[in-house]
Amino acid sequence: MERRNITGEMSAAELAEVLANVRAGDSEAWGELYRRYAPAMFRFCRRALPTPEDAEDATTEIFMKVRQKLDTYDPSRPFTAWLYKVASNHCWDLLRRRRIRQDLETGDIETMPLEHPDPGQLERLQAEHSSKEVRTGLAKLPDRARMALVLRYYSDMSYDEIAETLGVRRAFVGVLLLRARHQLRDVLAGSGASGELGAAAGRS
């Protein structure tokens, strides 16, 4: 699967040069790198974390980490993928610390039956909600569900990468994603006018 293209992403040669300069301590190059990637990282944090302030703080902290860990980046792999890895580990770490009760709530997620969705209603739901509404709905999901959706549909991470980041078995990632999609549908159906889908998909 192709990675999301970050607006203004540099060419491989250009990136390699900038990275080399950053490693050499060139603050101009660091500024360049930051300007290219900070907006995407901020959007990532904004989706992964519940409040804008958390996202701002996290973006700054992630770039601090990036600067420290730049030596561990393997240039043969995509830089964006590495960035998202650092970012997702950081955000998940933040969320994990606040989580106790949700562990109890989602303990039986694997066995919980999900109602079969009605394709017509599903399509109506998609048509009725703007991007902004989807993101607002996203903020209401439990941490792990939200994180799974963001990692998959914003950062385009593979199932293996998601499993590693969230610390779950690979086979569980699909369950997590499906469950999260159901929860998002419930939230949107609950806030929108389309009504019955929430009841059909069960509890949230």
Partner 1 sequence: MNHFDEMTVLLYLEGQLDAARAQEVKAHAASCAACRALLGALESEGVWLRESLGAEDESVPARLIAPPERGSAPWGWLTALGLGAGGAYTLWTGFIEPWQAQAAQAGFTQGNLLTMLFFSSSFWKGWDAMRSAMEFTAMAILGLIVMWLLRRRFRRATTFAVVMAAALCAVALPPPAAATDTEHGHPNYTLAAGQEVKTDLIVAADRTVIDGDVDGDLITWSRSVTVNGHVKGDILGGGELVTVNGTVDGNVRATCQTLAITGTVGKNVMAWAGNFNLDRKGKIGGTATVGGEDVDLDGHVGGDLLAFFKTLDFNGSVGGNFRAQGRSLTIGPGAEIAGTTKFKGPNPPDVAPSAKLGGPVEFIRHERGPDRTSPRYYWHQVLLWGAGFVFGLVLLLIAPGFFYDVANACKKVGPTSGLGVLFLLALPVAAILVCVTIVGIPVGITALFLYAIAIYSTQVFVGAWLGEKILGAGVGFGPTLGRLALGLAIIRLLRLIPYLGALVAAVVVIWGLGALVLTLYRYMRPQFAPAAA
Token pair, residue 21, equals 């300069």
Q: Which is nearer to partner 1, 10 or 76 (CB)?
A: 10
Q: Which one of the spans 11-19, 69-77, 80-88, 136-144 is the region binding partner 1 (CB under 8 A)?
A: 136-144
Measured CA to CA, the distance from residue 85 to residue 81 in angstroms comes to 6
Tell me the site size for partner 1, rule CB under 8 A. 65
Q: What is the CA radius of gyration of the chain?
A: 19
Q: Decide if 163 contacts 173 (C-beta within 8 A).
A: yes
**With binding defined as CB under 8 A, does residue 195 bind partner 1?**
no
Tell me the CA distances in angstroms from 10 to 1, 36, 93, one per residue in order.
Answer: 20, 8, 29
Q: Which is nearer to partner 1, 85 or 125 (CB)?
A: 125
Give least dist CB 50 to partner 1, A: 6
Candidate list 73, 82, 153, 172; residue touching partner 1; CB under 8 A: 153
Q: Which one of the spans 9-17, 59-67, 69-77, 83-91 is the region binding partner 1 (CB under 8 A)?
A: 59-67
**With binding defined as CB under 8 A, does residue 138 bind partner 1?**
yes
Total residues found in the chain within this entry? 204
Measured CA to CA, the distance from residue 177 to residue 157 in angstroms comes to 12
Across 69-114, the runs of DSSP E, i.e. the strands, are: none
Give least dist CB 57 to partner 1, A: 9
Which x/- pattern, by CB under 8 A, does the window 4-43 give for partner 1?
x--x-------------------x--xx-xxx--xx--xx
Q: Which is nearer to partner 1, 82 or 191 (CB)?
A: 191
42-45: long-range pairs with CB below 8 Å, 24+: 43/154, 44/84, 44/87, 44/88, 44/91, 44/150, 44/154, 44/155, 45/87, 45/91
**With binding defined as CB under 8 A, does residue 150 bind partner 1?**
yes
Token pair, residue 110, equals 């694997």
Measured CA to CA, the distance from residue 132 to residue 138 in angstroms comes to 10
**With binding defined as CB under 8 A, does residue 111 bind partner 1?**
no
Within 10 A of 83 (CB to CB), how many other CB atoms are there? 21
Q: Which is nearer to partner 1, 76 or 104 (CB)?
A: 104
Q: Which positions touch partner 1 (CB under 8 A)?
A: 1, 4, 7, 27, 30-31, 33-35, 38-39, 42-43, 46-47, 50-53, 56, 59-61, 63-64, 67, 93, 96-101, 103, 114, 116-117, 119-120, 122-123, 126, 129-136, 138-140, 149-150, 153-154, 159, 174-175, 177-178, 181, 190-191
